[in-house]
């Protein structure tokens, strides 16, 4: 097999990277060639992404690839977080900076929507989990406030589609990212225009939907000149970062497996051939999101390591610069405080508090639990709470499936947290396979390779991941102890 090189441009809520992937001999190797911080910018009480800064960093990633002698690439692919978007005017120019999904403008929008369209009707149309941050409710807030930006908008582009447009001049909505919006008909894979009309949201601003693995177009000549790249195509690898991460799950053993893409958010679910739109799925707050290769990612989206990230930030503000590895060691040493206190990571109190440890302490007080005292106890509380949350979600999946989940694959940054992986195996009572860490980049690169005809299909892509990246297996320990603990805390988890 000839050597192929692809570039993944992976944007997360905290940072972005340009990662060069080299495919050779049935294996893929990665090289991070550019990394940059991402940040929310607060202006007059609202939160924005600095999209022009992010695009400039994207171009620095292209230039870094050219500087490494990779002026000739086989493809470029962009993935980002879900739901957020930019608006273009009739001239194709950006109307302001995109708001972040944590912006407070969506407060009260779920209730406002349900006054017009029943909750069940929205779920039947879209199959999406109800979260105020979804694009549907962001747009509803603009419609209700009679936003000039919405009134002047000609085109809406989700974040990866916006970067693709800036790179190529082509406007489209990639399927996996569109599926996070709660505006797409999950069964027909088209925009749910009837729903949007009822809510007063203009459907004419939504571009055509293209499948993951499509060719977006060539990089614009002026960008090639600026960065030193040779002519290259931009592919849609799966614009949603979780779609890319799930594509890289090395599930080559067979059996009934689930995945957990673990980072700021935790996305835990199974891969289906068609959406599961049922009363039980609605009651359990599951979502049907698009996957690569025509798959459905049937999952529960819950808060993940955000609690630990914000707790660490608070400690940094207080002058204690602890690494995540040091925090994990403190949590291990606090084993005597096991099951002392738990929190539901999805409680609204943890949305974006100024002081996360204080928010956790307040939750424990109002639920009649012991309040963590040491840093190790706070970390232990967070990690055990996540493990119990995962148990709760897997139990709900099992209640809707003919066969129970036999194995959980954890991918993403959270797969490096050995204590969390072990606690998850213990809480769920099934083996956990951790890795790869760079699942999003791997999925991005390999789906580009599929689109370019260098890799046959998704199954082959996963075999390449399994051959290229090491994983670690965790077996459950002390199941009786965890079962007993679960009976005492399960009332805290929705």
Domain boundary, last residue among 209, 239, 269:
239
Pair 403, 330 in one domain: no
Can you give the pLDDT at residue 69? 79
Give the other-Cβ count within 10 Å of 245's Cβ. Answer: 29
In this structure, the answer to whether residues 255 and 208 fall within a common structural domain is no
> Could you tell me if 100 and 181 lie in one domain?
yes
Q: Do residue 50 and residue 136 come from a single domain?
A: yes
Peptide bond into 436 cis (omega under 30): yes
pLDDT given at position 1: 57
For residue 153, what are the domain limits?
Answer: 4-239
Q: Do 72 and 230 contact (CB within 8 A), yes or no?
A: yes
Residue 479 belongs to a domain: no
**Domain-terminating residue out of 356, 383, 410:** 383
Is 490 part of any domain? no
Whether 241 sits among the annotated catalytic residues: the reply is: yes
Q: Confirm whether 213 is domain-assigned.
A: yes
Asked if residue 164 and residue 107 are part of one domain, the reply reads yes
Could you tell me which residues come within 8 angstroms of residue 148 by beta carbon, excluding any fewer than 6 positions away?
none
In this prediction the pTM is 0.93
- Do the Cβ atoms of 84 and 49 come closer than 8 Å? yes
- Residue 21: alpha-carbon gap to chain centroid: 21
How many domains in the chain? 3
Residue 247 within any structural domain of the chain = yes
As beta bridge partners, residue 209 has 173
pLDDT, mean of each 10-residue run, the chain (494 residues): 92 94 96 96 96 98 91 94 98 97 96 98 97 97 97 98 98 98 97 98 98 97 97 97 97 93 94 96 96 96 95 97 96 95 96 96 97 98 98 97 95 96 98 97 98 97 96 95 96 91
Residues 120 and 98 in one domain: yes
Q: Is residue 94 part of a domain?
A: yes
Residue 17 lies in a domain: yes
Is 485 within the bounds of a domain? no
Residue 289 sits in the same domain as residue 374:
no
| 131 and 198 together in one domain | yes
The answer to whether position 405 is within a domain reads yes
Question: Does 70 share its domain with 169?
Answer: yes
pLDDT score for 13: 86
Please say whether the beta carbons of 170 and 92 come within 8 A: no
Residue that finishes a domain, picked among 338, 363, 383: 383
State the CATH number of the domain containing residue 466. 3.30.420.40
pLDDT value at residue 254: 84
Examine the domain organization and report whether 173 and 128 are in the same domain. yes
- Strands in 129-264 per DSSP E: 155-158, 173-174, 184-185, 190-191, 209-210, 214-218, 233-236, 257-262
Out of 84, 103, 241, 426, which one is annotated catalytic?
Answer: 241
* Claim to verify: residue 229 and residue 297 sit in the same structural domain: no
On whether the CB atoms of residues 23 and 454 are closer than 8 A, the answer is: yes
Same-domain status, 233 and 272: no
């Amino acid at each position: 097999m000839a050597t192929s090189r692809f570039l993944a441009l992976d944007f997360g809520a905290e940072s972005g990277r340009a990662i060069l992937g080299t495919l050779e001999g049935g294996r893929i190797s990665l090289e991070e060639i550019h990394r940059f911080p991402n940040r929310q910018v607060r202006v007059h009480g609202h939160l924005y992404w600095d999209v022009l800064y992010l695009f400039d960093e994207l171009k620095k990633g292209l230039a870094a690839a050219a500087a490494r002698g990779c002026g000739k690439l086989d493809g470029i692919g962009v993935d980002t977080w879900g739901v957020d978007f930019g608006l273009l005017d009739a001239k194709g120019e950006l109307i302001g900076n995109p708001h972040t999904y944590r912006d407070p403008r969506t407060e009260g929008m779920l209730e406002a929507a349900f006054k017009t369209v029943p909750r069940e009707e929205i779920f039947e149309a879209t199959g999406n989990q109800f979260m105020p941050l979804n694009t549907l409710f962001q747009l509803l807030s603009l419609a209700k406030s009679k936003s000039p930006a919405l009134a002047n908008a000609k085109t809406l582009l989700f974040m990866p589609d916006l970067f693709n447009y800036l790179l190529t001049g082509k406007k489209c909505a990639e399927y996996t990212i569109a599926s996070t919006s709660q505006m797409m008909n999950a069964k027909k894979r088209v925009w749910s225009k009837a729903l949007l009309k009822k809510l007063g949201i203009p459907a004419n601003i939504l571009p055509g939907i293209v499948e993951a693995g499509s060719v977006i177009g060539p990089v614009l000549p002026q960008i090639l000149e600026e960065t030193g790249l040779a002519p290259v195509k931009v592919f849609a690898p799966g614009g949603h970062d979780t779609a890319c991460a799930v594509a890289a799950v090395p599930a080559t053993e067979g059996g009934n497996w689930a995945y957990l893409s673990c980072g700021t958010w935790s996305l835990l679910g199974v891969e289906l051939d068609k959406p599961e739109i049922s009363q039980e799925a609605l009651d359990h707050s599951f979502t049907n999101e698009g996957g690569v290769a025509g798959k459905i990612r049937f999952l529960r989206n819950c808060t993940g390591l955000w609690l630990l990230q914000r707790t660490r930030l608070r400690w940094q503000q207080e002058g204690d610069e602890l690494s995540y590895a040091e925090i994990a060691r403190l949590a291990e040493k606090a084993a005597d405080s096991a099951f002392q206190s738990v929190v539901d990571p999805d409680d609204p109190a943890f949305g974006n508090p100024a002081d996360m440890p204080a928010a956790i302490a307040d939750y424990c007080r109002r639920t009649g639990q012991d309040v963590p005292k040491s840093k190790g106890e706070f970390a232990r509380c967070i990690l055990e709470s996540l493990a119990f949350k995962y148990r709760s979600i897997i139990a709900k999946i099992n209640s809707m499936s003919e066969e129970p989940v036999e194995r959980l694959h954890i991918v993403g940054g959270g797969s490096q947290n050995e204590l969390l992986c072990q606690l998850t195996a213990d809480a769920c009572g099934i083996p956990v396979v951790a890795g790869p860490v760079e699942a999003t980049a791997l999925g991005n690169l390999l789906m580009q390779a599929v689109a370019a005809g260098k890799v046959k299909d998704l199954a082959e892509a996963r075999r390449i991941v399994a051959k290229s990246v090491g994983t670690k297996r965790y077996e459950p320990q002390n199941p009786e102890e965890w079962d007993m603990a679960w009976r005492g805390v399960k009332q805290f988890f929705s």
